Chain A
């Protein structure tokens, strides 16, 4: 009895560390310790689950320990090998595996109900099916998100006409099958349960297919919430409090995070999920007669070198080209020459909110140089030059002055307030939102075409000759 008491205490401790970890992760000073606190809590919970008294359990410790070692090794090696730019994909994969774990738990419940002839009651069956559905969607959805972010798959490749309606129909079919299983009883509807699982997995794919580009972070946050919810549902199967509490904490915080991300883009969650973006902009003005003005490397170097203040606006292009370190080199040369260099970080710059901060931190850019939206706009108003490195939609003036634009109302970085604007860009292609950017035709704007890393490297050598 005392032993059971200790186990309960350990679970309680674990659950509290999760809350504590999330709390600490929300503040820059304590974030790192918060993560460690969470890891300790997880360790304690795993230990407690291993030694908790269970009547007649055969324990199979060899299996458990082997699995812990294999999983821990894979996880840690993978997380230390991944490049910082590929971080979002990694999170998606880890997240998907958690969902897959929940699917396996639900599947084993169903198999056991079948082979040992025990009949789960109504509530248990509902919960098993729920775990299967949410876990399945988390698994396949995350894997597809991974494939998209890794660029193994082109965005929108498998989008059906009226995809939103297809998804809705699929969901209704899945729910109808669930109701059938509930009515007939799980032990009498094995085939139907298998079909339910398959369609749940399919739904995960279909759910993520129409969503692409800048919306991916929102989906990952949402799938993260789903993995939490599936952990919670699995916790109800095992009547395990720490799974329930941990799962629902992640579920709630994931939903909040997805909503915060949508807010930064001034869009609703529903809008993102239906995937009605791109190709739009009925009022996007024809750009035919507008002039694009180019600038040479040499000229940009001179302008930057003799300016007083420069604001870099890094975007997705910088992340893709892995140009953060070269960017820092340019920064160093300019700073040494007395130029005041700052970075304007849009909330959704990069592949995930905060991703750009991580990348620039990796390149040793001092934290106080990174400005968030409001500070950045204040700095831009006084800046001599704004250098845009692979950002597009987050610096689109149409968000301010074109009510017909699909991104109208989204808070943007007002780079056009600076005296001059230099845009580093691979080509004149439009951004992820697929809309024209009038900034490129602005009278203050000069374009510097080429791969971001390549251009910045050349710019460094130009600057060194000055």
Chain B
């Protein structure tokens, strides 16, 4: 009850932080998805590069996010820009990997037929390969978005704001209520994003 009152009293500033969080994550994810899909598509044409690109993306994901953000400070300073960059770097692997796997696992006879019928490679990509790989790609995107929202909280450490800032303030002031509210709201955002993307996927799937 006390927690509830605390929330009611400060709901406007909490809402502001939540919106800030959402804006950071959406910006980062739009960049990440575009970059990931382009990279994933490109490495299907150059099979040798696929291994290298996937390992690099894999290694980047193993860097602790706190360290990744700190390393970005000398390059990009503090604030929202390095936060967005960090989230993009961190969420590349699931997208690239799923685009690659989704496309490479299409029944080869479908691609052979398309080739033999005289459809250009570019059209085969966007009319056949990408639609067929869509469910797998979406699974990767959902994983990345979930990760992105979580890491977005840590980005508050380099001054990006968002709900993470609320948690950090709670820690420094030993205020349990702030920590709990921040954490719960981040969880709620994550669940909503995941479910929403799931809906979207179902809607466009065959």
Do A and B come together as binding partners? Answer: no
Which positions in B face A, CB cutoff 8 Å?
Answer: none
